[in-house]
């Protein structure tokens, strides 16, 4: 574990212990990584998206500092939760836009060529979100693995650490989840 990772983990423990001023210190250490995650999310969105990476990071961070019932484990756990928050913001944004336009310009994603699901073009977050909800209904672990790998950008080892399972389990469940999502999204059109 690097010095920065240790420092982030200590700050998260302080924050979880009630030291609210730790949130400001944490932001200075995690801001660049949060922007990288936000850019990756928005790279998959339509070109005229109204959210910019900075706005997405700020909105997500405001939501994160309001969370009071999380026992922060470490840096990987923080980024997993942060990516989930960003995902929720983008899904809510897409829902609002789709509601406004009754269909909007959403495009379905194809997972058939996804050797690595982490970089598909033009992801329809609404379709993926719906499929993930269905997956979570019968396999919560696979759904969490997709969230952590796809949305959080975590490695197999980081995902295994956050979920307290072996890397082999993550790889196996990741493969099955991608196949199931492909079939589900393909069946929906």
CATH 1.10.10.10 location in the chain: 107-189
Q: What is the pLDDT of residues 17-64, one digit of tens each?
A: 778 788 788 888 889 889 988 888 787 776 666 778 899 899 998 888
- Distance in angstroms between the alpha carbons of the first and the last residue of the chain: 44
Region 3-8 average pLDDT: 84
CATH 1.10.1740 location in the chain: 1-105
Q: What is the pLDDT of residues 92-119, one digit of tens each?
A: 888 887 765 544 454 554 544 444 444 4
* CATH code for the part of the protein at 1-105: 1.10.1740
Check: CB of residue 46 under 8 Å from CB of residue 105: yes
Using a 10 angstrom Cβ sphere, with 0-12 exposed, 13-18 middle and 19 or more buried, the burial of residue 171 is: middle
Using a 10 angstrom Cβ sphere, with 0-12 exposed, 13-18 middle and 19 or more buried, the burial of residue 49 is: middle
* CATH code for the part of the protein at 107-189: 1.10.10.10
């Amino acid at each position: 574990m690097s010095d920065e990772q240790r420092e982030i983990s200590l700050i998260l423990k302080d924050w979880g212990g009630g030291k609210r001023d730790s949130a400001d210190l944490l932001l200075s250490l995690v801001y660049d990584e949060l922007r990288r995650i936000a850019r990756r999310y928005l790279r998959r969105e339509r070109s005229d998206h109204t959210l910019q990476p900075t706005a997405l990071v700020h909105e997500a961070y405001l939501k994160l500092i309001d969370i009071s019932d999380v026992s922060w484990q470490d840096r990987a756990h923080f980024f997993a939760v942060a990516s989930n928050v960003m995902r929720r913001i983008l899904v809510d944004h897409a829902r609002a836009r789709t509601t406004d336009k009754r269909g909007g310009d959403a495009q379905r994603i194809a997972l058939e060529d996804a050797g690595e699901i982490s970089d598909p073009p033009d992801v329809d977050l609404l379709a993926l979100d719906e499929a993930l909800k269905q997956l979570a209904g019968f396999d919560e672990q696979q759904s969490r693995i997709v969230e952590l790998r796809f949305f959080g950008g975590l490695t197999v080892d980081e995902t295994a650490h956050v979920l307290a399972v072996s890397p082999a389990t993550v790889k196996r469940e990741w493969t099955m989840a991608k196949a199931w999502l492909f079939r589900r999204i393909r069946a929906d059109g």
